[in-house]
Structure 1
């Protein structure tokens, strides 16, 4: 496995944490440094080009207020502005981590961490560090997303730019992988709230048992593991934007509470009676037909009208024919930067296949295939074999949705078999979330 050309520093006073993180990270990144004494950080940063720092919040026995971590964060950002900092904190200390985000940290991870989650956050931080380095070298940075030249996508982004200047609630509709998260973040960055938090919540991945505590927060003692007062995701977005992805998956019995928060602009944590005022812009998204969900009594009509003051539809990639090749070239450049590769191009047959492929997983599927190709290609050009797209090709516009559904079902069955029915691997390869894959398995009666 090719490693990322990046330098990572882990600062923690617990040797077992340093050992475990080094074992995990050295499999994926070229240089891993560890420090058990935060006082040595100045010397290490002055002698090495560090891309990302994983920083523990507490170092004194008996103190867990995170003050030392916040002080070190500011010191690191002063010494090396291009270095991206990820905070590490124990469960229940989220409030301190949120304070760190406001002070310039990129993200936080809870200890004990999940390996996949930690690696994902560190990789995103490396990308962020690369952009900061380019800025410091006076290299022009274009917006970190691809819009395209097709009329359908230009219309969507034009509408987004207009609504961004307001505080209107926005509902983004579109299939999985069409770029709903990217569009929501773009709206945030074009708004007056751009310097305040942007909080993303994937409602489709939230178990109904933790939905309320995760979204609305909880007071100490509200349930068995509620050891300290903890703000919810909506509260973390104060003065900024909260993006509620897969809004159609909110259980019906919880929709009323969400509606109440939107209407009253206050939130009450579980186990509390205190109402906390909110100043939050709400953007939601779904791949479901919400109007039909309202008709079928699966989604509250009053909530539907509250969240879609402005509705923006993102088109599937198959209807953006002229954008496929430019988008592929953009994603190739992105992956070359991510993996430290140069001078890679598509050969003619690979470009032809990209243009003719169905892309049922949309942009997410395209990005997944190109990332895979960049990792696998042995020369300086990507071939059809590197893309591994032989299982699906696009149909003519005259073919109906029944045929496309049959193609999608066949593709899912084939990739499930290839991955020995591993849902996570199959979803990743298809460019879908686990929730979206489960819905398709049910739709096509795939056992």
Structure 2
């Protein structure tokens, strides 16, 4: 029975190439031969080579083995997970020692016994597997440290509408069904995804997220599927994509509506086949992930407009969970306010308290940025408040909202006051004014992503 794996044999003697291939092909599936060492780099780039059987001398009458050492270093530099076995007709102990020191796994003197060659190749494949696994774990650890560096808050709520959300999450989490979370920006869609993961059977594995609105079109496949070293100009080393990082765990794709149609097809193929192929690679990788997606846009409307694939929408929303905006769950504001106040008191080493009147004032504000805006507002208030009690002006005033909000409530009719679009536009105008037109700062103050605030700037002609 032949074993999986690829062997490259490099020797300028055609008889050696033929004899070695005949010996090994009974035991290994993929054997590539070349009599020109200058072909090594391209062969390695085009194939997943595990073991290289490399001659040490290519020029006639050469016996020093220096050519073999030269190409050995080239191979290791190109792919350090490849295991190299050196061979020569002029073997001695010192040459063998030097070969091992230079990075070779073994040294074979010609002519060899077939049993000896097979034993060396078998050991080399075991070594290659260990090196590949170690390399993957090292890259995975590095990538995970980057992917998991964000701050995560608790997903909280005591209102009736949130209790229904929690009940749905509890039911859906026990399955591997794909989940679509919908809701306005800042309602806590990523927190909900974390809650689903923690309640699932995959809770012991990684939770990996990717904001599709922040991924440029030319890096989409690299971010999701990974890439091989040299796949493009800046690909200086292999890179694990989010699918591989989330292996056996949960993959969360936020702001899915930002994904262009051609890239939607790539995502759909990966989900259907449960396989990915890294950019620059040619070997599919099987993946097993639990997918959770989120969008603050109406994907059904996007399907009708031809902006989103219907088959992809069916694939991702076996269960759909809608998160209500904060204005629909005002009874949760005291709970959320105290939670964030305690969090930021600890972070900034403060001991601020909050009065019932301030909480009442917070309950009267519309919070167009939802829970994310509330969290940012409390953080700024903790930083700016000078006394022992949280100052409402430090909370709402940091948005430029306190005086303007009060004045506008008395000067506008009832319909304007409670019109969500009017309130949203005012909040954005006030944030831009406060941050002197710096859009990124205004977006952060409102609890919006850059993509979300630019869409609203266009919508309101700001």
More helix as a share of residues: 2
Alpha-carbon separation, structure 1, partners of 2:281 and 2:368 = 45
Deviations 1:297-327 (A, max 9, x none): 0000000000000000000000002111121
Contact 1:146–1:327 (CA under 8 A) maintained in structure 2: no
Matched position secondary structure for 2:251: strand
1:350, distance to aligned residue in structure 2 (A): 1.8
Structure 1 residue 347, shift from structure 2 partner: 2.8
Q: Secondary structure at the match of 2:184?
A: coil
Q: 1:94–1:230: 8 Å Cα contact kept in structure 2? A: no
Q: 1:385 offset after TM fit, Å?
A: 1.6
Partner of residue 183 from structure 1, selected from 184, 192, 200:
192
For 1:254 and 1:384, the matched residues in 2 are separated by 46
Distance 1:95 1:419, change over 3 A: farther
**Residue matched to 1:421:** 437
- Residues 347 and 383 of structure 1 are in contact (CA less than 8 Å); yes or no, is this contact kept in structure 2? no
Task: Tell me which of the two structures has the higher relative contact order, counting C-alpha pairs closer than 8 angstroms and 6 or more residues apart.
Answer: 1
Q: Which ranges of structure 2 fall in alignment gaps of 5 or more residues?
A: 1-76, 81-134
1:28-427 correspondence to structure 2 within 5 Å? 96-99=138-141, 107-108=145-146, 121=149, 124=151, 145-342=154-351, 344-387=352-395, 388=397, 389-390=401-402, 391-392=404-405, 399=415, 403-427=419-443
- Report the TM-score, using the length of structure 2 for normalisation: 0.66
Could you tell me which residue of structure 1 aligns to residue 16 of structure 2? Answer: none
Equivalent residue pairs, number: 323
Deviation at 1:392, TM superposition (A): 3.9
Partner of 1:435: 451
In the alignment, the residues of structure 2 paired with residue 270 and residue 278 of structure 1 have an alpha-carbon distance, to the nearest angstrom, of 16
Contact 1:259 1:303 in 2 (8 A): yes
Match of 1:283, SS state, is strand
Unaligned runs of 5+ residues in structure 1 are 1-61, 66-92, 110-119, 128-143
Contact 1:392 1:407 in 2 (8 A): no
1:401 to 1:277, Cα distance in 2 relative to 1, 3 A: farther
Rg: which structure is higher?
2
Q: Is the 2:139–2:239 Cα contact (8 Å) retained in structure 1?
A: no
Q: For residue 400 of structure 1, report the CA deviation from its aligned partner.
A: 7.5
Tell me if structure 1 keeps the 8 A contact 2:416–2:422. no
SS at match of 1:242: strand
Cα distance in 2 for partners of 1:157, 1:417 equals 38
Q: Equivalents in 2 of 1:374, 1:146: separation in Å?
A: 21
Query: Could you give the per-residue CA deviations for residues 217-239 of structure 1, whole angstroms, max 9, x where no partner exists?
Result: 11222111112222211111001
Residues 1:210 and 1:409: Cα distance change in structure 2 (over 3 Å): same
